[in-house]
Structure 1
Amino acid sequence: MPSPTAHPFPPAAPPHLPTAGAVTAVNLVKVYGKGDTEVRALDGVSVAFGRARFTAIMGPSGSGKSTLMHCLAGLDRATSGQALLAGVDLTTLSDRVLTQVRRERIGFVFQAFNLLPHLTARRNITLPLDLAGRRPDHELFQHLVTELGLTDRLGHRPSELSGGQQQRVAVARAMVSRPEVVFADEPTGNLDSRSGAEVLAMMRNSVHELGQTVVMVTHDPGAAAYADRVVLLADGRVAGEIDRPDHASVTDALRQLAVGR
């Protein structure tokens, strides 16, 4: 395999944005507060995330990585710029339509699992489809629960599952509706190393075997090494990217970012 290619400090001009991007930020700006308390969390971010690819977003604390993901996922409104999902600008949608888009076209995996405690694992997995009035694809459902090792846990409630099992339920829930993109925010942050590796391997396999698009925010170079590409942020701007990342290339790029601040 070719060695990882890192570009930690590209030219200031925004890169060409491929039209095949599943989700794209165009000159995205997000400002919190006003006057002396103003914080510019995103400062003109332009970046595309390709279809059927696993991309990690990384950067120092306060770099804007979670804000970028939240704007692209329709969880937060950008101050200006565009957040495009398959060409549809989420910033122009009404709250009602945006809620529908999030439910039907976007999957989420969060660090805190966010499972409903009174529902079984099966019902938690199918919840997005239940809310949309759709029936699950039986073949896809079986594939997901088998690959994630949940076949004998489907009747259990979250309190009866380990942390790793709960996160695997959350991964299955995010993917069971075949969303156009799955966003994962620090998905292994509450897991031990073995459980985290299992979740990351499943997300990578969903990209390479099912054609899923996954965008993950993480601070962990080991987690980022599962991705096909790493996008680096610093001070609310794109600071570079790494193709075919491994632990060493990610660690080195983050060290260069820290030195350059």
Structure 2
Amino acid sequence: MLTQNVDTLAAVAAVDLVKVYGSGDTAVRALDGVTVGFSRAQFTAIMGPSGSGKSTLMHCLAGLDTATSGQALLGGTDLTKQSDKVLTKVRRERIGFVFQAFNLLPQLTAAQNIALPLELSGRKPDPQLYAHLTDTLGITGRLGHRPGEMSGGQQQRVALARALVSRPEVVFADEPTGNLDSRSGAEVLLFLRNSVRELGQTIVMVTHDPGAAAYADRVVLLADGRVAGELDNPDIASVTDALQSLAVAR
């Protein structure tokens, strides 16, 4: 059951989420009772020191990793209680992913990469949304190219179109600008922010970069596997100060 600290209308939420790697003396408690919700149509950044549990939290919420205890809720679905088969379907049909390494299939064209998740679930892209995404991202002229024929920024734009074309309930972005130059990174972040404003998309992004987090509506701070605070309407200065405070407190 949801605790009072979590928005019952959240797109995705963790409730007393615990993740332990290993056992005995070598056990590492990556998540230590995390309870946090991520609202619909909001861009949230997850931040914290190295080893704070940022990526582990995202992976559990996305059904990419199994929690030791607690709940990982996608809408009304508790991912911790689902079979691998169901989780595969959930990831394909209800979640979008954007990774630092792009994760495009090199043998497929940009157009084929974008459509792949939908094809795997037996669906076809909405023509209007497809055209809007490819046009807005500036990749219409690159749809026949394979990843090896595109720059890093272009590949990440293809990955963004792939993540959003299925109208997922939430898009998880893991350091999406980590392999990009500053200009391409800013374009990606602006697109993510605009997808929230214009498409009502829910975005949850893990980042270590205060500049990237400043594009978000909200920042959730983690430290030592626990929620350590949050910021609304963040800017670079407030994020930097919060991270420095966490570092001093450790």
Match of 1:20, as an amino acid?
L
**1:134 paired residue among 112, 118, 123:** 123
**% identical equivalent positions:** 79
> How many angstroms does 1:36 deviate by?
1.3
Does 1:199 find its partner at 2:181? no
Q: Which residue of 2 aligns with 1:102?
A: 91
> How many angstroms does 1:20 deviate by?
1.2
Q: Which residue of 2 aligns with 1:68?
A: 57
Match of 1:171, as an amino acid?
L
Runs of 4+ in 1 over 3 A off after TM superposition: none
Q: What does residue range 211-226 of structure 1 map to in structure 2 within 5 Å?
A: 211-226=200-215
**Where in structure 1 are there 5+ consecutive unaligned residues?**
1-13
Q: CA RMSD in A?
A: 0.8
Q: TM-score, normalised by structure 1?
A: 0.94
- SS of 1:21's equivalent in the other structure is coil
Contact (CA 8 Å) 1:15, 1:47: kept in 2 or not? no
Match of 1:169, as an amino acid?
V
Structure-2 separation of matches of 1:113 and 1:37: 33
Q: What does residue range 58-207 of structure 1 map to in structure 2 within 5 Å?
A: 58-207=47-196
Deviations 1:96-125 (A, max 9, x none): 011000100000000000000010000001
Structure-1 separation of matches of 2:90 and 2:4: 27
Match of 2:233, as an amino acid?
R
- SS of 1:177's equivalent in the other structure is coil
**1:230 paired residue among 212, 215, 219:** 219
Structure-2 separation of matches of 1:16 and 1:39: 26
Structure-2 separation of matches of 1:248 and 1:15: 31
Match of 1:94, as an amino acid?
S
Q: Which residue of 1 aligns with 2:237?
A: 248
Structure-1 separation of matches of 2:126 and 2:177: 27
Q: TM-score, normalised by structure 2?
A: 0.98
